[in-house]
Amino acid sequence: MAFTWRYATAADAPALVALVNDAFEVEADVLTGDRIALPDVLGRLERGSFLVCDGSAGGLAGCVYVELRGETGYLGLVSVASARQSLGLGRDLMAAAEGWLHEAGCSVCQLWVLSSRPELLAWYGRRGYRVVRKEPFEAVNPPPTRKPLRPVHFEIMERELTPLGGSG
């Protein structure tokens, strides 16, 4: 199922907060609090971009955050509304983000996955990502506001980018 994406604006920030927190509710048994708050979304809009897909009912169906970091592009917060999951939207969001990063001049795409999410590690692995290193949970900048309820760390995954987000 293909979709049309657009760039989020500051007006989308409250809807982005709701979408991301809904999509990351699955981490509630591992981390305290919400995944993201309004100031974080606004800060990310200053550093990078959210690619969003509008849903049929006027809300956001999905989003992905992209940020240029030299030749390595970062993507994160891949979020799909609960009602739209398992329809291929996550895969399409990834392809749009990878294509966007490649067109912006990035040769590598990087993402960070919580060690408590083996299903995501496997999903990204099927897309050609490989773990290149591990980082402590506290390694993110700015430091996380959520606290782990059990030991977790980040698995940093990367893959080379090809035109239009295709697989290596």
Query: Given this model, what pLDDT does residue 55 score?
Result: 78
Using CA atoms, how far apart are residues 38 and 158, in angstroms rounded to an integer? 28
Q: Is 87 helix (H, G, I), strand (E, B) or coil?
A: coil
- On whether the CB atoms of residues 13 and 45 are closer than 8 A, the answer is yes
Torsion of CA 100, 140, 168, 160, to 10 degrees: 80
Band (pLDDT 50/70/90 cuts) for residue 140 is confident
Task: Say whether pLDDT at 168 is over 50.
Answer: no
Q: Give pLDDT tens digits for 46-55.
A: 999 999 998 7
Q: DSSP per residue over 127-162, as a string?
A: TT-EEEEEEEGGGSSSPPSS-BSS--EEEEEEEE--
pTM: 0.90
Q: Give pLDDT tens digits for 75-129.
A: 999 999 887 777 788 899 999 999 999 999 999 999 999 999 999 999 999 999 9
